[in-house]
Structure 1
């Protein structure tokens, strides 16, 4: 018996694996945005002129498209995390009844929406 090399793109044939790979790919968007924010902090430490240059870059049309791509990626990432959560955590029992996976996912997603709206409200309120 000899070694048979797996075919390239094997994961593209199964919708489960395509979704899994898309979910994993969104982690790179989270990393990329963390780098963008870290660069902003470095520019802030370098002074007002450097920070204003970074701010202009992220507010440019290309920067806004970048933010839109990040936002969509974050939505997919967040939703997929909350879909996975009931499968990875211990069984929850509330009032003698098992909490359903849909309730856990819905609560997590709803909480994420509330926190996001609160952060946006605070950001809008700040000068």
Structure 2
């Protein structure tokens, strides 16, 4: 039997996983989309949550328009935003939707004041 002593062994860092976790109290919540029992099916937010998100968006856009702010983003900015969304795990290609907020991404990217729900843009 080999009795060599193993020294300087440290646990591997979880830094590679830390970008997917955010602190919520004392526990952690995954930033990855919820996946239902059916493979490859990502759950969208509830209709109530999507209605709330849409209402906030419409109110913010209306406030911007009334105060004379810029409402429509440039084509270049919208294109950059769309590229970011397409690379995101929350993006659902079928329907071009964000499964985090439920928005229709090709529309949302054109509104200047809109923001990504996970702050990617």
- State the TM-score, normalizing by the size of structure 2: 0.30
Q: TM-score, normalised by structure 1?
A: 0.29
Higher-RCO chain (CA-CA 8 Å, sequence separation at least 6): 2
